[in-house]
Structure 1
Amino acid sequence: MFEEVRRRRAARRVKPGNGRPLQPFRWWQLSRSLFYLSLLDADDHRTVYAVDLRPAGDEDGRVLAELYRDGRHHATSKVPAAFPVEGGVIEVAASMFGLKRCHYVTPDGGERQLVPDPRSAAGRRARLEHDHPALSRFIGAASVTLLVLGVGVVVLELVDAIGRIPPVVDRYGGFDAPLQLPLWLTITLGVGAAAASAERALRLRYHWLLDGAAN
């Protein structure tokens, strides 16, 4: 029920496109995400969709997803977006570090992740996973480790802040976090957690606790 309501609200944000051509991806466009989906209709006609997005937002801070159909601008929407297409919807969602969702979803709940442009950062990360799976798994495990440590730092800071609240001090005498980290280590772990979230965003991996704490 909640998912259906969310998708209907996202669908209402979709505006028709203007037919402009899709610009090719350039290697220096580090802040651009470009993903593709190829669909066959009942007559075996193939349609290629492309989702073009700048997760950093435009000059007004808006994050817009642009949908192209066979190379022409078909629709636009603020994210999170849900674009109706043949046999389902394309769902797009972003975090501070990039995309966290770009999937084709069918009414029966089936999902398929869209394919990143091979020239994009996400495309190069996908190629690394294909060509060097062991290295890819190591990088993925390192990202999770850094995020777990980052969550630990957030918890320690929260405990320390709560222990200094005047009503808490009056009632319980106040308390300190069980572990005090030096500033340099706190900063290092924070930077590491941000880098880990950025790496996971290239693979469209997102967890509300791990990646959300780094946002």
Structure 2
Amino acid sequence: MARANLPATFPVPGGVVEVAAGQYGVKRAHLVTDGGAEHLLTPHPGSLEGRRARLAQRFPRASWAVGAVAVVVILVGGLLALGRGLEAVTHSPAIAAQVGTFTMPFHLSPTGLVVVGVLTALAGTERAITFRSRFLIDRRPGRRPRG
């Protein structure tokens, strides 16, 4: 088994395998033949990535919906975290005297915060395993992903 720091190129019979990682996971995994043809490599069917890819292939609209819900969950979780952080910072006396205070219009219970945190982490994982480097830009059903 070969190992290398990414981006990496591995020689194989008939060409090379090119692999590159982005900020959110694998950005490129292609077989480039000696003739210059490129073929997208697919994840192992038993892996989490393989199962997610199979969902996208069999049920593209459901896959798109899962991706859209994941993006919404990530955005809501991020906004809640931003609001809580802003509230904590602006309640400092030195900052409150300069810019005033911000108070969240509602507060979640500790259990609610844990649930939002877990859901946000799961949504982030879902976006990462789709082999797309831009988690906010999901492909539309029926369109071939660029890679």
Deviation at 1:92, TM superposition (A): 2.5
Structure showing greater relative contact order (alpha-carbon pairs closer than 8 Å, 6 or more residues apart): 2
Whether 1:141 and 2:68 are equivalent positions in the alignment is: yes
Deviation at 1:127, TM superposition (A): 0.9
Whether 1:128 and 2:85 are equivalent positions in the alignment is: no
Identity %: 25
Q: Distance in 2 between matches of 1:150 and 1:140?
A: 15
Aligned to 1:161: 88
Matched residue count:
128
Could you say what secondary structure the match of 2:4 adopts? Answer: strand
Which ranges of structure 2 fall in alignment gaps of 5 or more residues?
Answer: 33-37, 137-147
What do you get for the CA RMSD once the two structures are aligned?
3.2
Aligned to 1:56: none
* Residue type at the aligned position of 1:120: S
Q: TM-score, normalised by structure 2?
A: 0.68
Which ranges of structure 1 fall in alignment gaps of 5 or more residues?
Answer: 1-21, 23-72, 210-215
Deviation at 1:104, TM superposition (A): 4.3
Deviation at 1:91, TM superposition (A): 0.9
Native 8 Å contact 1:91 1:104 kept in 2: no
Whether 1:201 and 2:125 are equivalent positions in the alignment is: no
Q: Structure 1 residues 112 and 150 mapped into 2: Cα distance closer, same or farther (>3 Å)?
A: farther
Equivalent runs, 1:1-215 vs 2, <5 Å: 22=1, 73=2, 75-77=3-5, 81-85=6-10, 89-93=18-22, 99-104=25-30, 114-207=41-134
Q: Structure 1 residues 189 and 170 mapped into 2: Cα distance closer, same or farther (>3 Å)?
A: same
Q: Distance in 2 between matches of 1:154 and 1:207?
A: 21
* Residue type at the aligned position of 1:150: G
Native 8 Å contact 2:87 2:101 kept in 1: no
Structure number having the greater helix percentage: 2
Native 8 Å contact 1:150 1:189 kept in 2: yes
How big is each residue's C-alpha offset from its partner over 1:122-142, in whole Å with a ceiling of 9 and x where there is no partner? 111111111122221221111
Native 8 Å contact 2:26 2:132 kept in 1: yes
Q: Distance in 2 between matches of 1:84 and 1:173?
A: 54
Q: Distance in 1 between matches of 2:87 and 2:93?
A: 13
How big is each residue's C-alpha offset from its partner over 1:11-70, in whole Å with a ceiling of 9 and x where there is no partner? xxxxxxxxxxx4xxxxxxxxxxxxxxxxxxxxxxxxxxxxxxxxxxxxxxxxxxxxxxxx
Deviation at 1:195, TM superposition (A): 0.6
* Residue type at the aligned position of 1:82: P
* Residue type at the aligned position of 2:21: V
Native 8 Å contact 2:30 2:40 kept in 1: yes
